[in-house]
Amino acid sequence: MAIARCETCGRPQGLKQDYSYFHSLASSVSKNIFCGSQACGKRGFIWLTDEEEKQYLCGQRSFRLPNQAVHVQVT
């Protein structure tokens, strides 16, 4: 499951999955995706797991965020 973090908070650490791949939001996506770090309200960018990066390289561009209500498109 993709995760959002701002430039300041950076790569997600200490989670069950390793998020190694950084992607920007597609220009058609609302700019209201915020960093998932606690107490951070900055604009978020999308980090993908190894499996999600494989899907991205095969053409998938829509990924679910942890709150289950949001899908994001990355470039």
pLDDT band (50, 70, 90) for residue 43: confident
Residue ranges covered by each domain of the chain: 3-73
pLDDT tens for each residue of 48-59 = 999 999 999 999
- Strand partners for 73: 62
pLDDT tens for each residue of 11-42 = 888 778 888 898 887 766 656 788 888 788 88
Instruction: Report if pTM > 0.85.
Output: no
Quote the pLDDT of residue 68.
47
Quote the pLDDT of residue 40.
84
Q: Is 65 exposed, middle or buried (0-12, 13-18, 19+ CB in 10 A)?
A: middle
